[in-house]
Amino acid sequence: MAGDQTSHIKITYMNGGFEVTRIYAISEDTLGEAQLWSVADQVIPSRPKTGEQLRDWLKSKGCQLDSCDGPALVMRNTDGVTYEAYLRNGKLHREGGPAIIRRYRSGEVVELFYEDGHYIKTGDIAPLSVIAGVTVQRPPPKTPSRPDKPGPS
């Protein structure tokens, strides 16, 4: 992503029988452009009007699925099947847990482990014990880091 700060934008929409939620990393420049849509159709008549159009626009701007504190992609079917995917910089990634989780109505859970887009292993199958909302998550401002040790004199 270009720029010093990366925010995240969350889109939720229906696709057939699925409710789809996606979280994209988005640069401040692209976020500013996206915020212009709220002005009016007269200003930007071609602005995305559905979650799928917004998804396509974000992809065209180089935005990638990314979330550090939860799944970046969640699909929920009306029959109870849920699919979650954890991604970092557009790659399947999760440390200390599965990057893909499929929960079936029967109670079965399938877990697949990935790090930096590379498959690690399959977890055990265990019993389960349109632009409706767009939200933006901004990281806290960066503070300058201070070295622990002074450098050579």
Task: Indicate whether 58 belongs to any domain.
Answer: yes
What pLDDT does 127 receive?
A: 38
The answer to whether position 88 is within a domain reads yes
Residue segments in the chain with a per-residue pLDDT below the cut of 70:
1-4, 37-49, 123-153
Identify whether the C-beta of residue 26 lies closer than 8 Å to the C-beta of residue 8: yes
Instruction: Summarize pLDDT for 21-39 with one digit per residue, the tens.
Output: 999 999 988 888 877 765 5
C-alpha 89/C-alpha 65 separation (Å) is 6
The domain of 50 spans 6-137
Please report whether residue 145 resides in a domain: no
pLDDT at position 83? 96
Question: Residue 67: inside a domain, yes or no?
Answer: yes
The count of domains in the chain is 1
Task: Using a cut of 0.95, tell me whether the model's pTM lies above it.
Answer: no
- pLDDT confidence of residue 50: 79
Q: Per the domain annotation, does 142 fall within a domain? A: no
152 found inside a domain: no
pLDDT at 143: 58
What would the DSSP string read from start to end of 99-151?
SEEEE-TTSEEEEEEEETTEEEEEPPPEE----S--EEEPPPPP-----SS--
Q: Does residue 97 lie in a domain region?
A: yes
In a domain, 146, yes or no: no
**Maximum Cα–Cα distance across the chain:** 67
